[in-house]
Amino acid sequence: MCFVGSETAMATMTTPRHVAIIMDGNGRWAAQRGLSPSAGHKAGVERIRDLLEACKHRRIEVLTLFAFSNENWQRPSTEVKLLMGLFQAYLRREAKRMREQGVCLRVIGRRDRFSSSLRRAIEEAEAITAAGTDGSLVIAADYGGQWDITCAASALAKEVAAGRRPLASIDETALAAKMQLADLPPVDLLIRSSGEQRISNFLLWQLAYSELFFTDTLWPDFDQQVLDSALAAYGCRNRRYGGRNDECSQTASS
């Protein structure tokens, strides 16, 4: 039995080590107010600081945020430009604060399509926060799950071609080791805001056994209460990983 909502239950329930979020719904939030998508993106960025702090208080070790997908380049160039500018400004503004909080920042995804100034801002923010040992923030920007798997496969293929790895050594463990986030705890919980119930080419390999939580809340309205609803739902999940839970095994063996 799982009691959701009581403070005791919240305090004792299982906390995910790694939470990933698809921050969706900025455009609809803006449209509801008669504003352009840019206004939604600006409001959306503002949610991140509080969220990071809330995750730290709840002892979540890693927060991974989907900020820009490989496919988001298809959007109007003014919107893409605005998003790139917001990302750069966010990195410049927040890196020091993250260092003070002991948070280590990592950006995953392609970097070759970013401007040189954005690339520099990413490198500087990662360097400033590199020593952080009190939580990790991962930002997925120009990221795609298919790109990630392709890079991992290509890295293995190169090692085989160079004679540094036997073909027979390629298995799930070898591929997993080449994927982004390989050195971090597995993603326990994926949250998507805005009511959409799809992955949109976010972490594909890494979500194999993650719990999924979808909320209708649009990203700029996402607050600690919504986070706590997701955590409460997570606390009630029975993660079996293809095996049997205790109750079932007892019934089966009796």
Residue positions annotated with a catalytic role = 24, 72
- 194 part of the interface to ligand IPE, by CB under 6 A: yes
How far does CA 185 lie from the centroid of its chain? 12
Give the Cα-Cα-Cα angle 114, 125, 227 (nearest 5 degrees): 95
Q: How many residues bind ligand IPE (CB under 6 A)?
A: 18
Radius of gyration from C-alpha coordinates of the chain: 20
Q: What is the rounded CA–CA span in Å between residue 109 and residue 68?
A: 9
How far does CA 97 lie from the centroid of its chain? 20
- 196 part of the interface to ligand IPE, by CB under 6 A: yes
Q: Which is nearer to Mg ion, 38 or 136 (CB)?
A: 38
Q: What is the rounded CA–CA span in Å between residue 80 and residue 155?
A: 30
Rounded least distance, CB 71 to ligand IPE, Å: 6
Q: Which does 101 bind (CB under 5 to 8 A by kind): ligand IPE, Mg ion, none?
A: none
Rounded least distance, CB 138 to ligand IPE, Å: 13
Report the site for ligand IPE in 3-22 (rule: CB under 6 A). Answer: 22
- 23 part of the interface to ligand IPE, by CB under 6 A: yes
Q: Which does 235 bind (CB under 5 to 8 A by kind): Mg ion, ligand IPE, none?
A: none
Judged on CB neighbours under 10 Å (0-12, 13-18, 19+), 161 is exposed
- 200 part of the interface to ligand IPE, by CB under 6 A: yes
Q: What is the rounded CA–CA span in Å between residue 14 and residue 12?
A: 7
Residue 50, helix vs strand vs coil: helix
Binding residues (CB under 5 A) for Mg ion: these are: 24
- 26 part of the interface to ligand IPE, by CB under 6 A: yes
- 82 part of the interface to ligand IPE, by CB under 6 A: no
- 145 part of the interface to ligand IPE, by CB under 6 A: no
Asked whether 210 and 187 are in contact (CB, 8 A), the reply is yes
Kindly write out the interface string for residues 49-68 of this chain, putting x where it contacts ligand IPE by CB under 6 A and - elsewhere. -----------------xxx
**Residues 6+ away with beta carbon under 8 Å from 120:** none
Q: Which residue ranges make up the site for ligand IPE (CB under 6 A)?
A: 22-28, 37, 66-69, 72, 83, 194, 196, 198, 200
